[in-house]
């Protein structure tokens, strides 16, 4: 990745005044021709010049042999020459003083090493001349702003103007998206296929769109997250400064998918759980499919963001009303209770067989008047945050009039109004009216409910206060440095149990009192100092599962038992793990009662150090009850992590159980977060278990292990 692009550099891509299409020709239906012709035919407000070594004119426009032959101050070049000569073209573009380019041509990084070399060469020339470019290997760029009206793409059609921006790593997906959008009457502000992003990246584009007055919602299709932290930063800025939703469809979720992505664009997917967590942390709405993405986008782009989750469902058919209610409740929405005034209006306007409660059933023969009375009284009700309107095409339903009436009501109320006209052919005219007037329409009531709930989720993400990470200044940095230095001197990666404990101690994470004994007598003496009851654990590189090997003894309450236990452990371990070398026996204070929690650190290739919190012991593997966050994070986030665990009721106290010391747990999580941030050389850390005792009695580490990155990666 190069430096961040300036606003002006990205702006140049969208708003050129004179453009050369370099490498075009007369072959209608081929990419080099289509690109030139699309710019020409789709109302470009500037001047476009064809550059073609062999043609006198292209589409009736005088062609030039070389870019430098053009007698005009060009500010943009669209490069469609084959990749093998792209570097020559870029040289000329640079010499001509052009500062913006779009490289459509494929045959670069995505085809392997030879292509990667070409890409680097082109990029180096561009850098030399200060050319910023999109691509290579992309469908192009579209700006629907009538001030410029620029379609530098080989898409079949120019999309309509709209307030949704779409950015895609995949060019092929763009054609399907444009076709889909056309059928649904969805318009775009900016549409960018950014391909291999050798220069301008999705991050640069996001910074630009943040301040683009034409854009209200930003959609992004990604196959790999290469700059995770930068992505989180820019989205957080977009949310806090502009309140624009950012929706991402990220493929490569599964291992097989990731492999396919790797063979396709040379990308490596990080763990999908981390990606989910990081997206949520940044305020990104992650979408499952292209359809979901547009379902959410139209609601956020067309309608006010809901101020709450209390929806009213209005329907002319009971069955779909029940299906919608099911989904609404499942999605965490609540069915609004109507005010007396609303109830009165409904009673007066609807037949006595109608259901006046939420979901409101207008009955099958409902026409415009009933829809009008119900929806407008409901949207005027202070207890309602939004209306979800369902229509089924009965023989007497005046679909067109109802659609028009809903558009008019939608304009009158500053609250979200979504619709679902079920069926296809019969309702198509009504649906088109709704779409043209920016009333979100969904074929399925269930999708309508899901879109509303995602808009509510967006409101939450936008309005939350992420808070600042605490910086604990009582950490003994020298001691921590010393431990790392020792491990490196020894050439190892894995910290010993004692080193791991001492590292945590340097970060003031509480430990059970312990010592290491090399003999029966030492063990007994240590036990005396620490106080009974005592736990003994074998310390040995060769014993992975200590309990299974008989290497753990609990609850020893006398010096004599400790002495016998020491011998017992040595015997058990030696008989169950042949040739095991025992380094020492850990003499530790018995933990007593406490809920077991795991806190861990791992390195993610996309997002860096992440912290995991979950149920401790063996159950974390079985129940996958854990949550992750990218470090650093605030205490508020640590609290949200703990509260989202299934384990949480056991921590907060259920069925008259004593509540646990959650504040101490939070402090431990924060300190591990600080450790993760200050020591990126930690590849893996497991505190398992941390024992969270009853309120006021703190939390203590019973066991921990730490592994560093490979030494060659330590400097970064």
Range 426-485, binding a copy of itself (CB under 8 A): 426-427, 443-444, 446
Please give the residues from 691 up to 710 whose contact with a copy of itself meets the rule CB under 8 A. none
Beta-bridge partner residues of 103: 79
Smallest gap from Cβ 397 to a copy of itself, in A, equals 9
Tokens of 215: 């854009």
Please give the residues from 201 up to 230 whose contact with a copy of itself meets the rule CB under 8 A. 221, 223
Beta-bridge partner residues of 177: none
H/E element holding 215? Answer: none
Check binding of 27 to a copy of itself (CB under 8 A).
no
Can you tell me which of 19, 20, 21, 31 binds a copy of itself, judged by CB under 8 A?
Answer: 31
When the beta carbons of 21 and 239 are compared against a copy of itself, the nearer one is 21
Please give the residues from 582 up to 611 whose contact with a copy of itself meets the rule CB under 8 A. none
Check binding of 337 to a copy of itself (CB under 8 A).
no
CA atoms within 13 A on the CB side of 290: 14
User: What does the DSSP 8-state code read for residue 494?
Assistant: B
Q: CB–CB of 651/665 below 8 Å? A: yes
Which residues contact residue 378 at a Cβ distance below 8 angstroms, ignoring those fewer than 6 apart? 312, 314, 336, 338, 342, 360, 384, 387
Instruction: Number of residues interacting with a copy of itself: please give it, by CB under 8 A.
Output: 92
Q: What is the 3-state secondary structure (H, E, C) of 684-697?
A: EEEEEEEEECECCC
Q: Residue 11 — left, alpha, or beta (φ > 0 → left; ψ -120 to 50 → alpha)?
A: alpha
Residue 31 CA to its chain's centroid (Å):
33
Smallest gap from Cβ 709 to a copy of itself, in A, equals 27
When the beta carbons of 257 and 636 are compared against a copy of itself, the nearer one is 257
Q: CB–CB of 485/679 below 8 Å? A: no
Check binding of 652 to a copy of itself (CB under 8 A).
no
Alpha-helical segments (H) within 490-558: 497-506, 520-530
When the beta carbons of 69 and 548 are compared against a copy of itself, the nearer one is 548
Query: Measured over all CA atoms, what is the biggest interatomic distance in the chain, rounded to whole angstroms?
Result: 102
When the beta carbons of 183 and 578 are compared against a copy of itself, the nearer one is 183
When the beta carbons of 289 and 710 are compared against a copy of itself, the nearer one is 289
Can you tell me which of 60, 213, 491, 656 binds a copy of itself, judged by CB under 8 A?
Answer: 656
**Stretch of 177-185, 199-207, 276-284, 337-345 contacting a copy of itself, by CB under 8 A:** 177-185
Can you tell me which of 20, 238, 261, 642 binds a copy of itself, judged by CB under 8 A?
Answer: 261
Please give the residues from 269 up to 288 whose contact with a copy of itself meets the rule CB under 8 A. 288
For the chain, the helix, strand and coil percentages under 3-state DSSP, each to the nearest 5: 40, 20, 40
Smallest gap from Cβ 249 to a copy of itself, in A, equals 8
Check binding of 180 to a copy of itself (CB under 8 A).
yes
Task: Tell me whether residue 343 is exposed, middle or buried, using C-beta atoms within 10 angstroms of its C-beta: 0 to 12, 13 to 18, 19 or more.
Answer: middle
Smallest gap from Cβ 247 to a copy of itself, in A, equals 15
Check binding of 491 to a copy of itself (CB under 8 A).
no
Please give the residues from 104 up to 163 whose contact with a copy of itself meets the rule CB under 8 A. 111, 154-156
What is the β-pairing status of strands 386-391 and 417-421? Answer: parallel
Interatomic CA distance for residues 152 and 154, integer angstroms: 7
Can you tell me which of 70, 406, 422, 506 binds a copy of itself, judged by CB under 8 A?
Answer: 422
Interatomic CA distance for residues 638 and 630, integer angstroms: 11
Please give the residues from 542 up to 561 whose contact with a copy of itself meets the rule CB under 8 A. 545, 548
Smallest gap from Cβ 489 to a copy of itself, in A, equals 34
**Stretch of 70-78, 250-258, 433-441, 592-600 contacting a copy of itself, by CB under 8 A:** 250-258
Smallest gap from Cβ 701 to a copy of itself, in A, equals 22
């Amino acid at each position: 990745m190069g430096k961040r692009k300036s606003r002006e550099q990205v702006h140049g891509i969208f708003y050129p005044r004179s453009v050369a299409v370099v490498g075009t020709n007369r072959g209608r239906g081929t990419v080099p021709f289509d690109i030139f012709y699309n710019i020409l035919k789709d109302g470009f407000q500037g001047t476009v010049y064809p550059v073609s070594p062999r043609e006198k004119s292209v589409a009736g426009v005088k062609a030039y042999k070389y870019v430098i032959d053009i007698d005009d101050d060009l500010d943009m070049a669209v490069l469609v020459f084959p990749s093998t000569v792209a570097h020559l073209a870029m040289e000329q573009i640079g010499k001509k003083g052009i500062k913006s380019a779009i490289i459509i041509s494929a045959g670069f990084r995505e085809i392997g090493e030879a292509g990667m070399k070409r890409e680097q060469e082109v990029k180096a020339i561009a850098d030399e001349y200060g050319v910023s470019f999109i691509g290579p290997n992309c469908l192009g760029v579209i700006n629907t702003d009538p001030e410029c009206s620029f379609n530098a793409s080989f898409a079949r059609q120019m999309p309509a103007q709209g307030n949704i921006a779409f950015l895609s790593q995949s060019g092929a997906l763009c054609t399907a998206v444009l076709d889909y959008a056309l059928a649904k009457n969805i318009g775009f502000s900016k549409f960018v296929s950014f391909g291999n992003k050798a220069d301008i990246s999705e991050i640069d584009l996001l910074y630009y769109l943040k301040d683009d007055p034409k854009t209200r919602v930003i959609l992004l299709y990604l196959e790999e997250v290469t700059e995770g932290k930068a992505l989180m930063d820019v989205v957080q800025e977009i949310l806090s400064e502009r309140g624009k939703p950012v929706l991402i469809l990220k493929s490569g979720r599964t291992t097989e998918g990731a492999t396919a992505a790797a063979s396709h664009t040379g990308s490596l997917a990080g763990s999908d759980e981390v990606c989910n967590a990081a997206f949520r942390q940044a305020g990104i709405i992650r979408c499952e499919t292209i359809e979901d993405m547009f379902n959410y986008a139209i609601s956020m782009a067309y309608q006010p963001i809901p101020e709450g989750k209390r929806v009213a469902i209005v329907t002319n058919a009971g069955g779909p009303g029940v299906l919608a209610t099911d989904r609404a409740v499942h999605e965490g929405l609540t069915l609004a209770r109507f005010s007396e005034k609303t109830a009165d209006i409904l009673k007066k306007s609807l037949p006595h067989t109608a259901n006046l409660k939420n979901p409101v059933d207008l009955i099958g023969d409902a026409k415009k008047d009933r829809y009008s009375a119900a929806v407008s009284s409901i949207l005027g009700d202070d207890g309602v945050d939004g209306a979800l309107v369902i229509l089924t095409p009965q023989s007497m339903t005046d679909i067109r009039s109802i659609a028009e009436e809903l558009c008019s009501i939608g304009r009158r109320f500053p609250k979200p109004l979504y619709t679902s006209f079920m069926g296809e052919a019969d309702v198509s005219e009504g649906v088109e009216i709704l779409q043209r007037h920016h009333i979100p329409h969904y074929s399925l009531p269930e999708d309508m409910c899901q879109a509303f709930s995602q808009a509510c989720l967006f409101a939450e993400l936008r309005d939350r206060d992420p808070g600042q990470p605490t910086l604990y200044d009582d950490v003994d940095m020298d001691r921590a440095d010393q431990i790392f230095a020792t491990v490196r001197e020894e050439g190892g990666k894995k910290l010993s149990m004692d080193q791991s404990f001492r590292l945590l101690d340097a970060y003031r994470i509480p430990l059970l009192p312990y010592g290491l004994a090399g003999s029966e007598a030492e063990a007994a003496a240590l036990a005396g100092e620490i106080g009974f009851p005592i736990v003994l654990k074998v310390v040995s590189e060769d014993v992975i599962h200590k309990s299974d090997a008989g290497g753990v003894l609990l609850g020893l309450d006398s010096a004599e038992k400790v002495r016998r236990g020491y011998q017992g452990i040595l015997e058990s371990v030696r008989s169950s793990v042949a040739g095991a070398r025992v380094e020492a026996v850990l003499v530790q204070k018995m933990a007593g009662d406490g809920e077991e929690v795991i806190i861990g650190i791992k390195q993610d290739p996309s997002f860096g150090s992440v912290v995991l919190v979950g149920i401790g012991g063996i159950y974390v593997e079985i129940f996958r009850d854990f949550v992750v966050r990218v470090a650093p994070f605030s205490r508020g986030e640590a609290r949200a992590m703990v509260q989202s665990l299934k384990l949480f009721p056991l921590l907060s106290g259920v069925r008259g159980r004593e509540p646990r010391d959650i504040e101490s747990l939070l402090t431990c999580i924060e300190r591990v977060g600080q450790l993760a941030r200050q020591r990126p050389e930690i590849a893996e850390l497991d505190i398992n278990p941390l024992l969270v005792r009853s309120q006021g009695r703190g939390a203590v580490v019973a066991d921990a292990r730490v592994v560093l990155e490979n030494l060659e990666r330590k400097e970064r």
